[in-house]
Structure 1
Amino acid sequence: MSQEPDTSSLRERLIDAGVELVLSEGTAALGLREIARRAGVSHGAPRRYFPTHHSLLSAIARRGFADLGARVAATMEEATTEEATTEPSATPRARLDALARTYVGYALERRGMFELMFRHDLLDSEKHEPNAAGSRLRESTLPLFGLLTGLVAHCRARADGDVRPDVAAAALWANLHGIAQLWASESLPLALGTPADERAGAGRLLPAPLDALVTAALEAHLGPVKP
């Protein structure tokens, strides 16, 4: 007699298939049938592990937040190590610079996943799954925002104290998010006259015009780095 398939492994297989699909073909390809086909299961199988299409898409998007969080942690640690050897007092700003560039770089490298992670219908999941148990997708944004707020508070410690750190961090986040989206849609490269061969980057190494925009955003919210 054949054994029942392991529920947890099949669940992860469906998520794996969705991640592969969104990275290769974008959010428009994330239909239940196609995810099931990629996972090698019947088209009705996802319903056994995910009560709604939204719950499956949310699980896929959570993988994106986990990936982004891991990348941010790694690049900030690298930046801290590099900076501490020469200028220990500048470490919070170096970490914030690394976070900002990693965030924007991730948006360009993982465009389909980034779009899925911030889809309003998934973040506002109560409308689609009012009785669902567990954490909401939008709660996956909180660790990154908490980290950003802490770093902004450190960097603004000697600046004007009339703006709450979380408000300043939210404004910076919105600025970086907008830069990433407008660059990905090619609106900013067009406005800046950036040639096509100068628009690509890799990870935290952004193309020079985009890197300049990130620097401008950081300086607008935090002031320039003091020599």
Structure 2
Amino acid sequence: MDQDSGLRERLIDVGVELVTTEGTAALGLREIARRAGVSHGAPRRYFATHHALLSAIARRGFEDLGARVPAAISAAAASGDPREQVRALGRAYVGFALERRGMFELMFRHDLLDSTGQDGPAGSRLRDSTLPLFDLLVSLVSRCEAAGSPRITAAALWANLHGVAQLWSWGSLALALGSGSRTTAEDCVGELVDAAVDAHLRP
């Protein structure tokens, strides 16, 4: 790796560390440059805009999530039931969102998802990073023989899972549900994911 590529990756690494430990508010260009040990103008040599750097950081999040989901699905594959694999995907997705809250927020920021040509191949969009995961979900849903279009069902389920992740991270679902008989937050989130899967993949 040459020096320029090394510094570019270092800036992204610092951004990933910052968003993971301190949240999206910490991702200023000056702070990233300071933590990387370079001048505040240095990031501009590698990223045309602040959004381009944020997009590159968010892509790391999609790469991380993209690595976790197949592992979770593989563990559930022994059952031979694609519905269990959908549950595993859902739990991995929501689990990532709650574990990496700052990164998850960055990954789905509207201003980043809506921008084009931020960083990477010409015309690439951060939103394109969501497609492999969605296509995997569509494939699993189609194997469950759910009623209607697998893509529509998968899209509705994804929206449901995303909503669970957001509302739980904000504390709204925990407040609405109360403690009840659930012993841990993880158990409660797992029940919510299972309920979402069952609601969209009716027998």
Q: TM-score range by the shorter chain?
A: over 0.9
Q: Match of 2:130, as an amino acid?
A: T
Contact 1:72 1:102 in 2 (8 A): yes
Partner of 1:108: 98
**Match for residue 165 of structure 1 among 145, 150, 164:** 150
Match of 2:141 in 1: 152
Unaligned ranges ≥5, structure 2: none
Residue aligning to 2:172: 187
Query: 1:223, CA displacement in angstroms?
Result: 1.9
Aligned with 1:211 (options 175, 178, 190): 190
Q: Where does residue 96 of structure 1 map in the other structure? A: 86
1:117 aligns to 2:117 (yes or no): no
Q: Residue 80 of structure 1 aligns to a residue in which SS? A: helix
Aligned to 1:29: 26
TM-score by length of 2: 0.93
How far the C-alpha of 1:184 sits from its partner, in A, is: 0.4
Give ranges in structure 1 of 5+ residues lacking alignment.
Answer: 201-206
Question: Which of 62, 72, 75 pairs up with 2:69?
Answer: 72
CA contact (8 A) 1:189 1:199 kept: no
2:19 counterpart SS class: helix
Q: TM-score, normalised by structure 1?
A: 0.83
Deviation at 1:133, TM superposition (A): 2.1
Whole-angstrom CA distance in 2 between matches of 1:26 and 1:198: 28
Q: Which has the larger radius of gyration?
A: 1
Distance in 1 between residues matched to 2:202 and 2:76, nearest whole Å: 19
> How far 1:75 moved relative to its partner?
1.1
Runs of 4+ in 1 over 6 A off after TM superposition: none
Aligned positions, number: 199
Deviation string 1:68-94 (CA, Å, 9 cap, x unpaired) is 00000111112213x2xxxx3x1x222
Match of 1:135 in 2: 124
The residue type paired with residue 139 of structure 2 is G
Residue type at the aligned position of 1:222: L
